Structures are given as C-alpha cells and as structure tokens.
Chain A
Amino acid sequence: MFDAILENRLLAAILVVIAVPIVLVGYIYLVEFVVGLFRRTTAGRIRPWLWLAPALVFLGVFLVYPTIATVIRSFQNRRGDQFVGLENYQWFFTQNDTLIALRNNVIWVIFLPLLVVGIGLLVAVLVDRVRFEGAAKTVIFLPMAISFVAAGVIWRFMYELDPKVGTLNATLNAVGAEPRAWLVEQPQNNFFLIIVGVWLLTGFAMVILSAGLKGISTELLEAARVDGANEWQVFRRIVFPLLLPTIAVIGTTIIIYALKTFDVVYTMTNGNFNTDVIANSMYQMLFNNGQPGRSAAIAVILFVAIVPVMIVNIRRFQEQEAVR
C-alpha cells in the first residue's frame, strides 16, 4: 500500500511539473487571443488584470483573506461563536508568560539585526582584501542551506551541558572554567538562541553587502586614499554612507524576521526557561492549548508590531521609484 501511495505521489508531482507550465502558458496565450478581439484601448485596459489574475487569486486566498479572518477571530471567544471585544487582547497584556514573550521579541529585534548586519558588513569589507574570498564567503553563507530543524540539532550539540559532549562546555573545561547551562540561564539564554539565528542569517547579509561594496567605484576610493585618508576614514566617510541604502534593506528584512522568529525557539527550547517569543506562543495557543481567539489576538499584535517596519519599507520603495 505504501508503494502505491509513493508511486501515485511521484506520478502526481511529475504530472504537475509538466501540466502547470502548459496550463499557465496556455492561459496567457488564451488571454492574448481574447484580448486581441477587443479594440486597442479596451484591450490595454483589461490585459494587465488578466496577467495579474493568477497571482492576485493566490495572494487573496493565502494572505489577504487569512489576515482579515484572523483580525475578526481575535475579537471572538474560544469557540468562535460570540464577540468578546478586547478580552483576548486584555488577556495578552496581563499574562506574565506572554509579556515575557513580548520582552524576548524586543531582545531579538535589537540584537539579531545588529549582529547580522554588523558581522555581515565586517566580513563583506574584509573579504575584499584577502586571497581566499570564495572560501570565506562559502563558509559564512553555508548555514543558509540548512533547515532550522537541522540547525537546532547542530546547536544542541554546541550547547549540551555535559562537557564530554557539548562543544562549548568542553572548551570552558579545557581552560579550567565551570560548564554552563547555556539554554537555562536567564535571561542570557535568549542571547544564545539569537546566536543561532546570527549563524544562519549572516551569510545573507554578507552576500548582499559584498555585492553593494563591489558596486562602489574604485577611483573614488583611490582618490580619497591619495588625499591621505586612512582605511578607517575611507570606510567611515565613503563606503558606509554609500552602503547605507543596502544596509537599510537588509536591516528591515532582518527586523521583520526577528519579529516573526519561530523555528529556532521552537526546535531548541520550545519557549521553556523564559525564552518564549510571540510567534511561538501564538503557535502553542493555537495547536496545544486550543485557544484560537487568543492565538488570533497574538497574531494581530505581531502584525501591528510589523506595520511600522512595513511603512518604512513602502517609503523606501516609493523613493526608489522616484529615482527610476
């Protein structure tokens, strides 16, 4: 029976991989044929919407509708048959656990972007001046290819309490220090979880910053050096300001990431020892505590927290468009 299921799945996947492109290209071909029957001005008016239609349907079903539904659900009781006003929100802001999750998210939002962008920038600047650039970039970027679950396993070996197994405690042992319970000691255990995120994401920041750096004209830098600027001044006065837009892009991306952070916490501590974050507590409320109303309220709070970042993002886009 197992084999039958497997065979069917493979078959279905192959069918989809062949059929989806045919259907979609066929759709666009059909759109162009139908649009061609209309007058030019009419055609120009309806064509864009038909090209956008598949994407808009997907976005509507999978992102817009869930957002609206969640907002409504957050004002309802546990069973979802009665409106309870702001009760779920009140609950969130009066619970010790959820407030700790909120505090931890603030820690994530401060330290994750700072470390990721900081180390990413350091590597991007330094890697330009060594002969093993490719190797260095590959090593730093590699964790991007690793799932959070696998990363969780990797870092459990790093943080293991027993110095005979845990890499970090073995290192402490070697220099004569006492082993530490990295994931239990509060509140620094949050910081040790953030380290895992830094390990995973720095490659992303480094690659984009490095590309931005290569775009800066060498003549400009040489001119500054000839005028007697030292390397630090060149970086501080020329490189950094020119990289600032790129740094802003990565910074906002990582801030959004930090707000939505879930996988690292879920796989490493599951929110124990006061390491919970909003996304994880939302998940627990929904799937383990059977409290969809409260979970929806947490989701909305998370969404509202992201809105300012989103506004910055949109402003930046509009500025870009103005330049174009």
Chain B
Amino acid sequence: MTQAQAPVAIGAQVQTRRRARPQLGGIAVNTVLIILMILWAIPAIGLLVASFRTAAATNESGWWTAFTPPWEFTIENYEYVLGRAGIDQAFINSFVITIPATVLVVMIAAFAAYAFAWMEFPGRNVLFVIVVGLLVVPLQMALIPILRIYSNFDLVGTFPAIWLAHAGFGLPLAIYLLRNYMGSLPSSLIESAKIDGADHFTIFTRLVVPLSVPVLASFAIFQFLWVWNDFLVALVFLGYDPANRVLTVELSDLAGRGEGSLNLLPAAAFVTMILPLIVFFSLQRFFVRGLTAGSVKG
C-alpha cells in the first residue's frame, strides 16, 4: 500500500537511483503496474483466505467477506488435510521423487554440455541441434512406449521408473541451457589450463563446474519446480495407488470428490505449494540470473 505513494518522492530520489535506470515513470506507469499486480495476486490471495475459512462460510459467501465481522478463521482445514487425506504420505513421495530426479539430470547434462562446448568431434553441431529439437517432443506421446519398456523390466509403479523418466524428459532443456553457458566461458581460461597440463577431468571438475554454478543451480531449481509440480508423469507411472500418490495427484483426487470438499481444496492446494514457494523465495535471485544467462546476450 505504501507503494502507491511512490510518485510523490520521485523528484528528490532520482539522483540516488542506479545508473542504468531510465527516468521514473509518472502516475500512469505506476497505476498500470499496480493494477497488474493486483490482478495477478487476487486469485492466490482468494485461495489463501478461503483455506482459513470454515466449510459453512466457504459455501455461503466469498472469501472477500472474511474481512468484515465476524472474523471467523479456522485452521481446521489444514488439520484435516494434513491428518486424514493422505497428504503427508504424498508430501514424502513428492520429495523422494523430486530430489533424485533433479540430481540425475543436472549431472548427466553437465557432462554432455561440457563435451558439446569444449570438445571437437565430427557431427557435433548436428547432434546438438537434434538434442535441442527433442525439446518439442510432446511428453504425452512418450508415455506409452516407455510404459512398455518399464513393464519388461518390472519397473511400473516403482520410484526408479519416475526418476529415470523425469531425468530423460528434462535433459534437452538442461543440455541446451548448460551448453550455452559453458560455451560462453572464456576459451583463454580453458586453453591455459590445458597448456599447464590439466586433463579434461580436472578442467571439468576444478574449472568449468565451479564457474557454471549459477546456471547449474538455476536449472536445478527449474527442474525441481517442474518435477514437484508434475502431475501427468506421476499419474501414468505411479498410478492412483494411495501409497504411490504424489501431492499433485492427491490434490487432483481431492478436487474430484466434488462440492463437499470445497473448504478443503484451498488448504490442500497450499500444502502442495509450500515447498516450491520456499524454494522460489529463497533462491529466486539465483534462479532468475542463471535462467537468463544462456538465452540473453547482454
């Protein structure tokens, strides 16, 4: 709310702003942005408020009425969701799926990206273009053939099945981003290390990986959010079996039960969002920096 007063102090503050900043905008610019921010925030705020209201209140009136007396808030919804709907199990499942799937793809992609960026071999560009091209394979199309492979190896409904699948699906984007970043490292650095007698293993572990931490971290966060929020892959490879459900499948199941759970859904939705939001807020700066490094040349 204090943001709305920003235009008042502009004149005095201009000199202290960062150099790269063009002149501050007028009331129109501020108004447009604030309207957009409100539009973007309303859906999530509505859900947050609804998650703290009773079933009766949610069925009878909108979330905005909660701000007028009587202020009736409750944590019952969260208690129910965390206690009975099997969400604690799903939370652990989501976690157990997400971490290995992220580690696997980042490491394999880092090897490949290093080879694409700093090794000479025939067909390098063609192969890289094919890898980038695989970005567009529709995921849904890959599911059944993979299911068939998995059933040959008795992997259907197991966690390795979903670790490996997520790693495979994440690879094209990972290789693309990491190779762009690694390729932009100064070649003089790599060459001088070679002259000093360093082999590829040393250059990779001591030089390239430490220098690529921003992009490795940002992709890891990206993959983390993606796997955590994934619904389809988990549904197909793990199924509706309650012991196997991840958070998104659990939430979708709860949503399918209809009007009776109108008060529970918002709470359940927020439970699924907690970890991504923590990851997002704590690592946001990292995420944004690394993501833009590969695609934008300054």
Binding site for B on A (CB under 8 A): 2, 5-6, 9-10, 12-13, 16-17, 20-21, 24-25, 28-29, 32, 36, 44-45, 47-49, 51-52, 54-56, 58-59, 61-67, 69-70, 73, 119, 122-123, 126-132, 135-136, 138-150, 152-158, 163-167, 170, 199, 202, 207-208, 211-212, 214-215, 218, 221, 246, 249, 256, 259-260, 262-263, 267, 279, 282-283, 286-287, 292, 295-296, 299-300, 302-303, 306-307, 309-310, 313-314, 317-318, 321, 324
Instruction: Give the CA-CA distance A145 to B279 in the complex, in Å.
Output: 9
Verify if B286 is at the interface (C-beta below 8 Å from A). Answer: no
The interface residues of chain A lying within 8 Å CB-to-CB of B30 are: 130
Q: Are A158 and B232 in contact (CB under 8 A)?
A: no
Smallest CB gap from A280: residue in B: B140
Q: Are B291 and A324 in contact (CB under 8 A)?
A: no
Instruction: Give the CA-CA distance A256 to B176 in the complex, in Å.
Output: 16
Q: Are A147 and B229 in contact (CB under 8 A)?
A: yes
Q: Are A145 and B29 in contact (CB under 8 A)?
A: no
The interface residues of chain A lying within 8 Å CB-to-CB of B54 are: none
Q: Interface size (B, Cβ < 8 Å)?
A: 123
Q: Are A51 and B92 in contact (CB under 8 A)?
A: no
Q: Are B60 and A164 in contact (CB under 8 A)?
A: yes
Q: Name the prevailing secondary structure of the B interface residues.
A: helix
Q: Are B138 and A263 in contact (CB under 8 A)?
A: no
Q: Are A299 and B175 in contact (CB under 8 A)?
A: no
The interface residues of chain A lying within 8 Å CB-to-CB of B67 are: none
The interface residues of chain B lying within 8 Å CB-to-CB of A170 are: 62, 64
Q: Are B22 and A256 in contact (CB under 8 A)?
A: no
The interface residues of chain A lying within 8 Å CB-to-CB of B204 are: 28
The interface residues of chain A lying within 8 Å CB-to-CB of B21 are: 128-129
The interface residues of chain A lying within 8 Å CB-to-CB of B207 are: none
Q: Are B37 and A139 in contact (CB under 8 A)?
A: yes
Given known pairs A65-B145, A262-B140, the reply for A130 and B29 (CB within 8 Å) is: yes
Q: List 23 A-B contacts (CB under 8 A).
A: A6-B89, A12-B96, A52-B116, A63-B171, A126-B33, A129-B25, A146-B44, A147-B248, A150-B270, A153-B268, A154-B47, A155-B43, A156-B255, A157-B63, A165-B262, A167-B46, A199-B43, A208-B292, A212-B292, A287-B236, A299-B140, A303-B136, A306-B138
Verify if B15 is at the interface (C-beta below 8 Å from A). Answer: no
